[in-house]
Every structure is written in structure tokens, then in C-alpha cells.
Amino acid sequence: MVSIHVDLEKLEWRPGSTKYGRVAVHEGKEIIQSAILSDRRQEGGGLALVSKVSPPPGKVVKIVAVARSDEHVFNLEGGRGTKSGQPLRSAADYTLNSEGQVHSALIATETLSLVIYRGEPDENISFEVVDAAPALEALRSRCPHLSLTGPRGAERECE
């Protein structure tokens, strides 16, 4: 087999609306796009692509999927976030979603990722564009038992 070489400047970006439908378009602009780097599934291999997610201002993209094969995700720019649109504190630059794993991502900033599937790509359960929750509401949803009128710094109890 010969090596595969791709010029990143000449990638053919595919609109996410072909996969996710109209919800992947906001005010005429595609929110998610992908470009295939290599597809060796016919030969028993996997699929490598670059994914670009561009949430509208004040919105969060919520994706839920099931891994049909091991999925390796390398965030090159941006990354996962919270319901309030803030960057996730423990956001990793690399994630492995094992075959069969139900997983999700909240993306609130422009994100560019290298995604490598060992075989077939994810089965998508849902793709939504939602309003970013105000920070206080996000804290309440994460820590419903927390008294927000208590001493300063009490929110750390829920981290």
C-alpha cells in the first residue's frame, strides 16, 4: 500500500447538514463541517477526518452519539465546554470513546478536531444547538444541593 498525503489547505469541507439535517445550519451558516483525510473501511481499516464546529454566539452545540468502533479525538483548537458556554476545566486534548460507549460533548467555542475511527464512525443519537445557560443556572444544575446564599467559596464543594 502507498502512503496517503493530504494538503490541509485544499481540504474539501463537507456540510454537517447532510448528516444532521437543518439543525446544523444557523442563519444560513453551517455549524459543523468535516473533511475526510482517509477512508480505509473497504480494506478493513478505519476513517480519519477533521471536524470543525462553529457554534453561534451565545449558543452551545450538544452532540450525543454511540461509538460503533473506537473513536480517537484530538482537539487541535477549542474543545469541550459547559452548559454555560465556558471552557471545561478538565477538558482534555485527547479523548478515546471505546466501541459501544454512549458519549456526548458540549461545544461553545470554535473547535477543530482530528477524529480517527478504528472502523465505522459514530451512530449519532442527537445534535442540538441550545442557548448557553447562565453561569448560576449551570451551577445549580450541576450542584442542586448547594446553597448559593452560603459562605463565599461554597461552590467549590461541588467540584
The domain spans of the chain are: 9-132
Residue 139 has what pLDDT? Answer: 59
CA distances to 30, 48, 62, 111, 151 from 69, in Å: 26, 12, 21, 22, 47
Residue 155 has what pLDDT? Answer: 46
Residue 74 has what pLDDT? Answer: 95
Give mean pLDDT in consecutive 10-residue pieces for the chain, a chain of 159 residues.
87 92 92 96 96 93 96 92 75 88 94 96 94 67 58 50
Find the angle CA(66)-CA(106)-CA(18) to the nearest 5 degrees.
60
Using only the alpha carbons of the chain, give its radius of gyration. 18
Residue 87 has what pLDDT? Answer: 76
Residue 135 has what pLDDT? Answer: 61
Residue 55 has what pLDDT? Answer: 94
Work out whether strand 47-53 and strand 29-30 pair parallel, antiparallel, or are unpaired: unpaired
Q: Spelled out in words, what is the top-level CATH class assigned to the domain 9-132?
A: mainly beta
Residue 154 has what pLDDT? Answer: 47
pTM: 0.79
Residue 127 has what pLDDT? Answer: 93
Residue 138 has what pLDDT? Answer: 55
> Any residues with CB less than 8 A from the CB of 133 and at least 6 apart, and which?
83, 84, 85, 141
